[in-house]
Structure 1
Amino acid sequence: MKKNLSLFLLLFHMLIFAQNKTLISNWTSYVQSVNVEDKQNQNFRVTAKMRKDNNNNGSNCGIWCRVDKTDGKNGFFENQYYTVQATNEWKIYEIKGVIDPTGKLLNIGAFAQDNGDFYFDDFKLELFNGKSKKWIEVPLKNSGFEENLNSDNNWYEGIYSGETAHIKHFNIESSAYQPASGKKSLLIRGRNIIGTMPEGKFADVNGVKLYYEIYGEGEPLLMLHGNGQSISAFINQVEDFSRKYKVILVDCRGRGKSAYDKNKELTFDLQTEDLKQFLDKLGIKKTKILGWSDGGILAISLALKYPELTDKIACSGANIFPEGIKDDELKSLKEYKASLVSSNRNHQNDLLIDLLDLDIKYPNWKFEDLKNIQCPSLIIAGDKDMIKTEHTVKIAEFIPKGQLAVIPKSSHFVPEEKPTIFNQLVLDFFEDK
């Protein structure tokens, strides 16, 4: 369902991790934070040069900005990862915005996701002077990465607000290879990240091409990601589960490397049929399913529509109607959609709007419908999930063989936040006879 809708929810709602921790993710960010308490309400623009070398494997990079307010909440936010496509040629990219009335820090970052070599150079921050009608540059430390990268030049690696954390599978360094200017540029290098691996394949199903990767041997286990995710969402699960199962990871239509058909409304029924045809192509008659967020909704849908196909299902952060989402979270989704619609001049936001509509409008089951699910079902949520706790509890109660697990000190992103606990919990459930 909700993760990573343009990284909106990810960067706004993820928990804070301890400094200098090594995390596992398919994306990373290199950030400089500028104090803007004396620049509130001013117009700003950030520009940077960017290019990528990734053999067109579907990965991408972008520049991003976020304002942290004095009350600890987030203000202005834009990440161009989803709205621009980097090429192997240096180009200048720009973000414009207004510093919030209570803005404290303006975070300016380089963002990279999945396998590839991603280059950045010549970051610039400017404020608009209303009196002179000119843009005035605000100096950034090591903006062209000519100096060595270290903690003394205000840049830090991290994917959580104000926290330094190294992300496994990524290396961040200065590079002398074909900089945009000067002698060096910033290089973020991603390697061995699921979702853009050379072993991946495509399957033609239901009018679209679906990308998939398979790891391990044994009984099949289908893993289904959330709304704005791809199969790389399970980067913390593949190693543990592939020791015991044949793990099948598939990008749902319009996500990752899978194709999208704009002429068909994106619904859970449509995706359920995608997955049924996909499993038929692979010759799989029965499978266990692990679904996260929208993937959990799809697991429930498969169990309802194709009971003969589902052995066991484990669903984390799933809802069965839109109002199962917490009121403020659902409001945020609607507001975000409205902002995308208003700025959708060249149809660049079409897919994101469709993805938001999916969760704003669907699914539309009733609790009574869940009595038709006959397979053992583990219903999981974080105690601070974006799904209402009472909604999660009722899902488990109405499924005849339902079990409930609410994991403390975790959110909608519990598979990332608590992978050790989450993985063992699901493995124990799958192996229980």
Structure 2
Amino acid sequence: MKRSKWLFCCLALFACSEAADAQNTNNTAAKTGYASVNGLKMYYEIHGDGQPLLLLHGSHATIETTFGPMIPALKQHHKVIAVELQGHGHTADIDRQITCEAMADDISALINQLKLEKVDILGYSMGSGVALNVAIKHPELIRKMVLLSPVYKSEGIQPDYWPMLPTIKPEIFEGSPVKQAYDSVAPDPKNWPVLVDKLKTIYTRGFDWNKQKISTIKSPVMVVIGDADMVKAEHAVEMFRIFGGGQFGDLKGLPNSQLAILPATTHVGMLFRSDWLLPMIQSFLDQPVK
């Protein structure tokens, strides 16, 4: 089986096993709406009350297929604002390439439009790239960030990713719950091939969001990867050090930022680790900002 097919079979299995249960709980008492930002009608859901926590999903996904199992627990402690990014889920595509930089501008506009105070952000994969770019451009909007499987440059991605990328075709998804989720909510389900094609260029060889710019982010950051992730472990450690980690805590105290490498966990497998992630995320977000 080709690696690309294996990857999306895993994603399909995830959607089958967990998203259906999530749909039974997440839609109750949720406020939904659309925000007009930068030419987009961006869909969002608001669950619960408390410190705002913005959820940014992964590529090809919806709110449910990325965060469905987590929202019931997160909304007990936070005002959860879950969005669907350009071309994903309920949010129609526009005549613009899909880039983390452009979507970061959309998210910044959304935060201001909803008149939120400083937000926490939980981003997975593509969503973590969007979160990084929000923090680079608008650090005043961010209190803390949890980045699941983040990269800031192409060198941080495993080399196997690049030959796999051209094999990702729209038909790979046919019949999968991921595609079914898209078809059930997308304003124009016929746009799926366009979305798949655009997402092939979101990470390109040679991209780099600049270590110096990232080092200006002062908000505490939790970096989380799997030990068999698309993200190299060395890259995650590098990012942790950029955010102030890697010191001898017994002598210098604990840093504001944190690093977690989950055992026996792949990139897609991260989505199965709610039972590990939720207590770590909640503990991190609960700690006062120094």
Query: With structure 1 as the length reference, what TM-score do the two structures score?
Result: 0.54
For the 8 Å contact 2:225–2:261, the answer to whether it is kept is yes
Q: Residue 331 in 1 paired to residue 167 in 2?
A: no
Q: How does 1:259-270 map to 2 (within 5 A)?
A: 259-261=92-94, 263-270=95-102
Of 261, 265, 287, 1:410 maps to 265
Alpha-carbon deviation of 1:366? 3.0
Query: Which residue does 1:11 correspond to in 2?
Result: 9
Alpha-carbon deviation of 1:395? 0.9
For the 8 Å contact 1:299–1:313, the answer to whether it is kept is yes
For the 8 Å contact 1:367–1:394, the answer to whether it is kept is no
> How far apart, CA to CA, are the structure 2 residues paired with 1:399 and 1:278?
26
Give a deviation string over 1:221-256, Cα, whole Å, max 9, x none: 001111111111101211111111000000001001
For the 8 Å contact 1:267–1:362, the answer to whether it is kept is no
For the 8 Å contact 2:155–2:206, the answer to whether it is kept is no
Q: Residue 211 in 1 paired to residue 43 in 2?
A: yes
Q: How does 1:261-410 map to 2 (within 5 A)?
A: 261=94, 263-336=95-168, 349-360=193-204, 363-400=207-244, 401-410=256-265
> How far apart, CA to CA, are the structure 2 residues paired with 1:205 and 1:169?
30
Alpha-carbon deviation of 1:370? 2.0
Q: How does 1:132-211 map to 2 (within 5 A)?
A: 169=20, 192=24, 194=26, 199-211=31-43
Give a deviation string over 1:63-111, Cα, whole Å, max 9, x none: xxxxxxxxxxxxxxxxxxxxxxxxxxxxxxxxxxxxxxxxxxxxxxxxx
Alpha-carbon deviation of 1:361? 5.6
Query: Which residue does 1:248 correspond to in 2?
Result: 81
Alpha-carbon deviation of 1:364? 2.1
> How far apart, CA to CA, are the structure 1 residues paired with 2:201 and 2:87?
14
Task: Please state whether the residue corresponding to 1:327 is helix, strand or coil.
Answer: coil
Task: Please state whether the residue corresponding to 1:424 is helix, strand or coil.
Answer: helix
Alpha-carbon deviation of 1:350? 1.9
Alpha-carbon deviation of 1:359? 2.2
Alpha-carbon deviation of 1:428? 0.6
For the 8 Å contact 1:236–1:415, the answer to whether it is kept is no
Task: Please state whether the residue corresponding to 1:227 is helix, strand or coil.
Answer: coil
Alpha-carbon deviation of 1:362? 7.9
For the 8 Å contact 2:41–2:92, the answer to whether it is kept is yes
Of 278, 281, 285, 1:426 maps to 281
Structure 1 pair 239/196, CA: closer, same or farther in 2 (3 Å)?
closer
> How far apart, CA to CA, are the structure 2 residues paired with 1:196 and 1:363?
41
For the 8 Å contact 2:218–2:243, the answer to whether it is kept is yes
Instruction: Read off the aligned partner of 1:370 and give its amino acid letter.
Output: I
Query: With structure 2 as the length reference, what TM-score do the two structures score?
Result: 0.79
Instruction: Read off the aligned partner of 1:318 and give its amino acid letter.
Output: P
> How far apart, CA to CA, are the structure 2 residues paired with 1:417 and 1:402?
24
Structure 2 regions of 5+ residues with no counterpart? Answer: 173-189, 245-255
For the 8 Å contact 1:195–1:231, the answer to whether it is kept is no
Instruction: Read off the aligned partner of 2:162 and give its amino acid letter.
Output: L
Alpha-carbon deviation of 1:306? 0.7
Give a deviation string over 1:237-284, Cα, whole Å, max 9, x none: 1111111100000000100110111x2122111101100111111111
Instruction: Give me the CA root mean square deviation.
Output: 2.9
Question: Which structure's residues are more often strand, by fraction?
Answer: 1
> How far apart, CA to CA, are the structure 1 residues paired with 2:117 and 2:39?
22
> How far apart, CA to CA, are the structure 1 residues paired with 2:270 and 2:230?
14
Task: Please state whether the residue corresponding to 1:409 is helix, strand or coil.
Answer: strand
> How far apart, CA to CA, are the structure 1 residues paired with 2:102 and 2:19?
35
For the 8 Å contact 1:228–1:255, the answer to whether it is kept is yes
Q: How does 1:124-135 map to 2 (within 5 A)?
A: none
Instruction: Read off the aligned partner of 1:380 and give its amino acid letter.
Output: V
> How far apart, CA to CA, are the structure 1 residues paired with 2:228 and 2:11?
10
Structure 1 pair 421/383, CA: closer, same or farther in 2 (3 Å)?
same
Structure 1 pair 169/360, CA: closer, same or farther in 2 (3 Å)?
same
Instruction: Read off the aligned partner of 2:265 and give its amino acid letter.
Output: S
Structure 1 pair 337/331, CA: closer, same or farther in 2 (3 Å)?
farther
> How far apart, CA to CA, are the structure 1 residues paired with 2:71 and 2:59?
19
Structure 1 regions of 5+ residues with no counterpart? Answer: 1-5, 17-24, 29-165, 171-189, 341-345
> How far apart, CA to CA, are the structure 1 residues paired with 2:162 and 2:29?
34
Query: Which residue does 1:257 correspond to in 2?
Result: 90
Structure 1 pair 219/271, CA: closer, same or farther in 2 (3 Å)?
same
Alignment coverage as a number of residue pairs? 256
Structure 1 pair 7/204, CA: closer, same or farther in 2 (3 Å)?
farther
